[in-house]
Structure 1
Amino acid sequence: MALVFLVCLISAPDTCKEERFSFAFEPVSDLGCMMGAQPRMAEWTNTHPGWRVARWKCVPAELEEIHTI
């Protein structure tokens, strides 16, 4: 399972990019991904001031490359 989230600059809300995080332990259920998403995004936000998470979703790892937010 992979976490895909869209982050946007706070100072320029139209400037956005995707970030991806694959969970190291497999298999991860949808629920497990959703529960693990919040701490992972909080950690990312803390290390990237000036950005905010606009959207996020969990996708199966094998589909991560073809899915976009």
Structure 2
Amino acid sequence: MALVFLVCLIASPDTCKEERFSFAFDPVSDLGCMMGAQPRMAEWTNTHPGWRVARWRCVPDGMDETRTI
């Protein structure tokens, strides 16, 4: 299971990119991913000032990253 989140620059909201985090332990259920999402996104946000998480989702690991969030 992987956490995929869309992050956007606070100063330029139209500038966005997708970040992906694969959980180290498998298998992770949908619920496990959802529970692990908040701390992971908070950690990412703390280390990337000026960015905000716009959207996020949990997907099966290896799923095509081009799919719209």
Q: TM-score range by the shorter chain?
A: over 0.9
Question: Which amino acid in the other structure matches residue 34 of structure 1?
Answer: M
How far residue 59 of structure 1 moved from its aligned partner, in angstroms, is 0.1
Partner of 2:30: 30
Identity %, equivalent residues: 86
Deviation beyond 6 Å, 4+ runs, structure 1: none
Give the root-mean-square deviation of aligned CA atoms: 1.1
Aligned length: 69
Superposition TM-score, scaled by structure 2 size? 0.94
- 1:11-68 Cα deviation digits (max 9, x unpaired): 0000000000000000000000000000000000000000000000000003154534
Query: 5+ unaligned residues in a row in structure 1: which ranges?
Result: none
Superposition TM-score, scaled by structure 1 size? 0.94
Query: 5+ unaligned residues in a row in structure 2: which ranges?
Result: none
More helix by share: 1
